[in-house]
């Protein structure tokens, strides 16, 4: 695991932009963390880094936003839909196991559906500073090595 600390929203976005360069088609990134820990903010940065120019917001009600590009970006939010059957009906496996990049907020809700090589990002508040966040990344050693290069 790699722990990265940001001290304001902009730093989280900038980290996302750099992190985006490490992603390849087929990657699934799972974002877990309490409300307002910065999941969507980080995803906004990642999308910018992937060349998406349109507005990026949590698909809280639509469940999945698709940002077309090469590769396609799928932005999911599992906060409201807890039901695995519901997600399967929507065809989530086509996204998770397709050629696009899937960015999944509240991914712990659908843990059992996530591919084995999912990159996991756990976000935490730092209790003594309202603008500080910990970004904890778990992935293969290979991937973490590349994360280390962008955080140094």
Ligand X SMILES: Nc1ncnc2c1ncn2[C@@H]1O[C@H](COP(=O)(O)OP(=O)(O)O)[C@@H](O)[C@H]1O
Q: Which residues bind Mg ion (CB under 5 A)?
A: 39-40, 58, 105
**Cβ(49)–Cβ(19) under 8 Å?**
yes
Q: Are strands 28-32 and 129-138 parallel, antiparallel or unpaired?
A: unpaired
Sheet holding 101-105, edge to edge: 2-6, 129-138, 119-126, 28-32, 101-105, 73-77, 64-67
Residue of 4, 29, 49, 133 interacting with ligand X (CB under 6 A)? 133
Closer residue to ligand X in complex, CB, 26/58: 58
Residue of 68, 93, 131, 140 interacting with ligand X (CB under 6 A)? 131
Of 19-27, 28-36, 86-94, 110-118, the segment contacting ligand X by CB under 6 A is 28-36
Q: Which residues bind ligand X (CB under 6 A)?
A: 6, 8-9, 11-12, 33, 35-41, 58, 105, 131, 133
């Amino acid at each position: 695991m790699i722990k990265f600390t940001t001290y304001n929203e902009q730093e989280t976005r900038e980290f996302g932009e750099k992190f985006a360069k490490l992603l390849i088609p087929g990657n699934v990134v799972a974002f877990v963390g309490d409300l307002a820990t910065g999941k969507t903010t980080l995803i906004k940065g990642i999308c910018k880094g992937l060349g998406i120019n349109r507005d990026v917001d949590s698909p809280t009600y639509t469940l999945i936003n698709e940002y077309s590009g090469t590769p396609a970006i799928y932005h999911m939010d599992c906060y409201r839909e807890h039901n695995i059957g519901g997600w399967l009906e929507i065809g989530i496996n086509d996204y998770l196991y397709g050629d696009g990049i899937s960015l999944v907020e509240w991914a712990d809700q659908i843990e059992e559906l996530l591919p084995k090589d999912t990159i996991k990002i756990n976000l935490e508040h730092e209790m003594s500073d309202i603008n500080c966040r910990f970004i904890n990344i778990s992935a293969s050693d290979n991937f973490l090595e590349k994360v280390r290069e962008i955080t140094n």
